[in-house]
Chains A and B, each alone.
Chain A
Amino acid sequence: MSAREEILARVRRAVAGAEDVEIPRGYRAGRPAEGAVEGLVELFAERVDDYRAVVHVVPAAEVPAKIDACLGGRRVIVPDGFGRAGGWDDLDTADGVVTTCAVAIAETGTIVLDHGPGQGTRAQTLVPDYHLCVVRADQIVAGVPEAVARLDPARPLTWISGPSATSDIELNRVEGVHGPRTLEVIIST
């Protein structure tokens, strides 16, 4: 018998006669209706700031200027579809990366990349030490369930909540290990 067949047979033997259970979804009852929540931008900004990431809330028209100000003289990767000219090509020597995102989560201060247009490859948002992410206000959802519902599992997804960190030394949080040590977020309203 192959390992596959044997494991499946063992599983079937092990659970024979066991009762199945209903999954209570009571947690969904309290979820806010899409679009019905006030203050998502403020909550998202506050929660991102809790991770010691830098947050700017800027009217849409002023975003390009804000990006310029944030990037300063950095050599920055600009992924295809971001809509900005120029950009550095060499991953190993880049100082940073600027991207959009797929979804952002207010309750947890999380941005999610699905690496579609404007978001670059997974490596492009990982290797450089600085990540600037532009989030549109309409991309911000209340919580994790709303984000999961919006995402496409067929795409590679990267959930980012603040800069790289570790709690491995005495369980105290230290920012900056292998991922970008600085995360900056522009919320476009």
Chain B
Amino acid sequence: MSATFLGMPGNFPENSRKAVHDSQLRFNLRKATHTIRGKRASVVGELPDWQELRAAGKAIKEHTLRNLDRYLIRLEAAVTAAGGTVHWARDAAEANRIVTGLVKATGETEVVKVKSMATQEIELNQALAEQGITAYETDLAELIVQLGDDFPSHILVPAIHRNRSEIREIFLDRMPGVSPDLTDDPPALAEAARLHLRERFLRSKVAISGANFMVAETGTLVVLESEGNGRMCLTLPETLISVVGIEKLLPSWRDLEVFLQLLPRSSTGERMNPYTSMWTGAVEGQDFHLVLLDNGRTDVLADEVGRQALRCIRCSACLNVCPVYERAGGHAYGSVYPGPIGAILTPQLRGMSSELDASLPYASSLCGACYEVCPVAIDIPEVLVDLRAKAPHAAAERAGMKVAGWIFNDHRRLARAQRAATRLRKLVPKRLPGPLSAWTDTRDVPEIPEESFRDWWERNERA
């Protein structure tokens, strides 16, 4: 995959404007997000103790983050004792250097990959390619994205922006040896992917994964998946390298009882995902390496409001209920982390120096649907508002807000401004100029009343 998110031009309003006018994309996104929304609601509704689980999930993550140093050390000791090797990476470049070095040491030039947000975040595939190593994505959606030279647009289902007929076209164009009679029937498309990857799984010597959870107490890593590509990669190759963000820790084995209930129901809307693999250190003769990744996470951790974003378990429930995501699509966010969680995570991980990143905290109507479904109760609107206070503001907007603040600071000034508006009420055009034209492009302006409420009260009631 040559595509890269870093340094993407544009800004969210501009990117989303294009997406809104792509009717095929709108249709695909609406259908997919509404399907999964319904499934999630139904399986979450089955558990009478959902709110208790959610409260526990939130607290376990908070407690882990508060004691992260201690738990990281404990994890390292447990993984090492079980025959694994632990590496630490301050940033993307260091992580990529470590992984590339480990692959080169095996003498292999091909690796198979399990879908992993962390390796997308550090753009590992590009780093490997620069060193002559080809990385093959094995998750069906990642494969679709990779073959289509495309960007992922969703955390759980990266090819959500594609429908079955588009996927068929990509397979026919780019998948070596695919039957020209391939139909767009989803089982036929899945079968084509199975055949395409089968040999690769059986002959690959090195696999790269992420992990959904790491248990400090036992050194256990956990990967949840559906297709079996994860099991293939985690089990068959001789060398397994897992790149995992430091925030993925859980203190104890028993804590999995909470997260193995929260994650599948929030994510795919199933009682349980088809496959979950757990392993502790080097298993069945494998060579196992764990790369612990910071890459900006400790900066996020230092922010009292923003640090709650590190509780995220990447379920993507917030994307599926977000009205903005549903219409803008994932690419508009210009990051591997799209949707509401991306809007608070990306600006914290990358900063807000680019126009795109500075526009992300505003990519929300603050409707609160994301917070309501979040299984670890991340108050996304709260973090968005906090980031908006830190974001750079345009000079004209700042001046306008200052004037508004000055008027609102004194009711007499407000009354005078209201009377001035009343006097000018007949002069308000149907289409407003400047930034306010954004309002009147699709909406009428309300009529300004003859008298404000406060003047009416003053005239009728004050006496």
A and B touch in the complex (CB under 8 A): yes
Q: Which residues from chain A sit less than 8 Å from chain B, CB to CB? A: 2-4, 6-8, 10-15, 18-27, 29-30, 47, 50-51, 92, 105, 107-110, 121-123, 126-127, 143-145, 148-149, 153-172, 174-180
24 A-B residue pairs with CB within 8 Å: A3-B94, A8-B69, A18-B304, A21-B63, A24-B56, A30-B49, A121-B284, A122-B277, A126-B231, A126-B232, A126-B235, A126-B236, A144-B260, A145-B257, A153-B280, A156-B277, A156-B278, A158-B277, A161-B274, A168-B159, A169-B159, A171-B157, A174-B187, A178-B201
B261 within 8 A of A: yes
- CB of B68 within 8 A of chain A? yes
Chain B residues whose CB sits within 8 angstroms of the CB of A174 once the complex forms = 186-187, 190
Q: Are A179 and B59 in contact (CB under 8 A)?
A: no
13 additional A-B residue pairs with CB within 8 Å, beyond A4-B88, A6-B90, A153-B215:
A7-B72, A26-B49, A27-B49, A108-B271, A109-B272, A121-B284, A126-B231, A126-B232, A143-B261, A158-B276, A162-B274, A168-B139, A178-B138
In the complex, what residue of chain A is closest to B36 when comparing beta carbons?
A171
Name the contact of A8 in the complex, choosing from B73, B140, B157, B231 (C-beta under 8 A): B73
A153 to B253, CA, bound (A): 7
Q: Quick one: given A24-B56, A153-B253, A169-B189, are A179 and B274 in contact (CB under 8 Å)?
A: yes
**Chain B contact residue count (CB 8 A cutoff):** 95
Query: Looking at chain B's contact residues, is the secondary structure mostly helix, strand, loop, or mixed?
Result: helix
B272 touches A14 (CB 8 A): no
* Complex contacts, B191 vs chain A, CB 8 Å: 176
Asked whether B236 lies within 8 Å of A176 as measured between CB atoms, the reply is no
Q: Which B residues between 147 and 194 are near A, CB-CB below 8 angstroms?
A: 157, 159-160, 163-164, 167, 186-187, 189-191, 193-194
Query: What is the bound-complex CA distance between A6 and B68, given in angstroms?
Result: 13
5 residue pairs, one from A and one from B, having the closest CB atoms: A179-B228, A178-B228, A10-B298, A177-B227, A159-B276
List B contacts of A15 (CB < 8 A).
65-69, 301
Q: Measured between alpha carbons, how far is A14 from B300 in the docked complex, in Å?
A: 8
A187, chain B: closest CB distance, angstroms = 17
Interface contact A10-B48, CB-CB below 8 Å: no
* B227 x A165 contact (CB < 8 A): yes
Q: B328 near A: Cβ within 8 Å? A: no
- In the complex, which of the residues A25, A30, A169 contacts B167, with contact meaning CB atoms closer than 8 Å? A169
Distance of A78 from chain B, by nearest CB (Å)? 19
Inter-chain contact B56/A153, CB cutoff 8 Å: no
8 Å CB interface, B116-151 against A: 138-141, 144
| B321 CB–A CB distance under 8 Å | no
CB-CB under 8 A from A127, the residues of chain B are 202
CB neighbours of A47 from chain B (8 A): 271
Residues of chain B with a CB closer than 8 A to A105's CB: 272
Q: Which chain B residues numbered 265 to 298 have a C-beta less than 8 Å away from chain A? A: 268, 270-280, 283-284, 292, 294, 298
Q: Which of A18, A109, A110, A176 contacts B66 (CB 8 A)?
A: A18
B227 partner, pick from A4, A14, A154, A164, beta carbons under 8 A: A164
Bound complex: CA A22 to CA B197 (Å)? 46
Task: Please measure, in the bound complex, the distance between the C-alpha atom of A145 and the C-alpha atom of B255, giving whole angstroms.
Answer: 9
Known: A7-B292, A122-B231, A171-B35. A164 touches B66 (CB 8 A): no
Residues of B within 8 A of A156 (CB): 277-280, 283-284
Tell me the dominant secondary structure on chain A's binding face: loop
Contacts of A122 in B (CB 8 A): 231, 234-235, 277, 283-284
User: What is the minimal beta-carbon distance from A96 to any residue of chain B, in angstroms?
Assistant: 15
Is there an interface contact between B59 and A22, defined as CB atoms closer than 8 Å? yes
| Interface contact A159-B272, CB-CB below 8 Å | yes
Report A55 CB to chain B, min CB distance, Å: 15
The residue in chain B whose Cβ has the minimal distance to the Cβ of A107 is: B271
Determine if A176 and B215 form an interchain contact, defined as CB atoms under 8 angstroms apart: no
**In the complex the two chains form, what is the Cα distance from A23 to B60 in whole Å?**
6
Q: Which residues of A sit under 8 angstroms from B88, Cβ to Cβ?
A: 2-4, 7
For residue B254, CB closer than 8 A to chain A, the reply is: yes
Whether B226 is near chain A, meaning CB under 8 Å from some CB there, is: yes
**Are A169 and B190 in contact, with the CB atoms below 8 A?**
yes
Give the distance in Å from the alpha carbon of A24 to the alpha carbon of B201 in the complex.
Answer: 43
> Whole-angstrom distance between the alpha carbons of A12 and B301 in the complex?
10
Query: How far, in angstroms, from A154 to B78 measured CA to CA in the complex?
Result: 10
Known: A24-B55, A154-B218. A14 touches B298 (CB 8 A): yes
Nearest-neighbor residue (CB-CB) of B292 within chain A? A7
Complex CA distance for A129 and B247, rounded to whole angstroms:
36
Report whether A160 and B275 are in contact in the complex, using a CB–CB cutoff of 8 Å.
yes
- Least Cβ distance of A119 to chain B in Å? 13
Most buried by A among B36, B159, B198, B272: B272
